[in-house]
Amino acid sequence: MIALGWLRNAATLIGALLLGGLQAAQAEPAPLDGSEQWLMKSAEGRDYRIMVSLPEGDVPYTGGYPVIYIIDGNALFPAFHAAKRVQERWKGAILVAIGYPSDTPYDFNRRAFDLSPPQPAERNDPPQGGQDLFLDFIEKRLMPKVNERFKVDQDQRSLVGWSFGGMFGVYSLFTRPALFQHVVAISPSLWWRDRYLLAHERAFTEQAHTGKLDLTHTSLSIWAGDREMPQEIQDVRALQRRLENLSQYGLRSDFQLEAGEDHMSIPFRVTTRVLEELLTTRRF
């Protein structure tokens, strides 16, 4: 009886240990094959979580891999990474998703600051106005690290953003048009702060008309879901129509309305088509 009791106790202990080990294993973050993660800081000390979908195969004939930078990386990186890896023809691309050290898809306070223009003090809650600082981080810290880590095709840099991130993408085109050759703005919040982007659009258009911009290899693709607010659809359609006037200087622009999608669902619905558009663009 003593031996039987000992065996029962031992079995219980072993089971507990095994269960504990299983629970510990289940608590570990699941890595994504073919990816790596960096933790970086901006010049102001803000922390960023960078998720990278690694290129596979030989360096392309251009001498470098195309790079797609993705805003809201915590939410969007897994879908884009998986969509890229299942297509053999896209495996030679690098995806660099910019997120935050958080376990939530969207860190609303951080993205509110990084992706928005300055606000009056009485409306600056949560804090906003960091879009130029965020662009500085991408241009002066993140891009150099990517260039150091990989052979990059400097003529194939793209930016993908949704909602505030789409608004940020349009802002980057208007204010730093040489930073990315291609911008995809999914459901951009063009209405934000009384359509503040209109002033930047006018300045951008004026520079193009006076010959101060080379837009020969520049494109903007705008997407929206047909279940979004009617005025939001109208705004993005109107922007694309106005930018068609700059096609004479090389700017390519298009607008696509996605059937059956709303503001929250559309970035995940169009993932494959966005990659198709960006990774089949030819420069020569």
Closest among 79, 81, 103, 77 to 90, alpha carbons compared: 81
Domains for the chain: give ranges and CATH numbers.
32-279 (3.40.50.1820)
For the stretch 226-264, pLDDT in tens is: 999 999 999 999 999 999 999 999 999 999 999 999 999
How are beta strands 219-225 and 252-258 bridged, if at all?
parallel
CB 162 within 8 A of CB 189: no
Which of 25-29, 70-74, 101-105, 233-237 shows the lowest per-residue confidence on average (mean pLDDT)? 25-29
Q: Is the pLDDT of residue 22 over 50?
A: no
**Phi, psi torsion values for 27, nearest 5 degrees:** -80, -15
**259 neighbors 226 (Cβ within 8 angstroms):** yes
Q: Quote the CA–CA distance of 195 and 157 in Å, as a whole number.
A: 27
Q: What angle do CA 88, 92, 95 make, to 5 degrees?
A: 110
Q: What is the pLDDT of residues 125-147, one digit of tens each?
A: 888 999 999 999 999 999 999 99
Ordered strands of the 182-186 beta sheet: 35-41, 47-53, 94-99, 65-71, 152-162, 182-186, 219-225, 252-258
d(CA 1, CA 274): 69
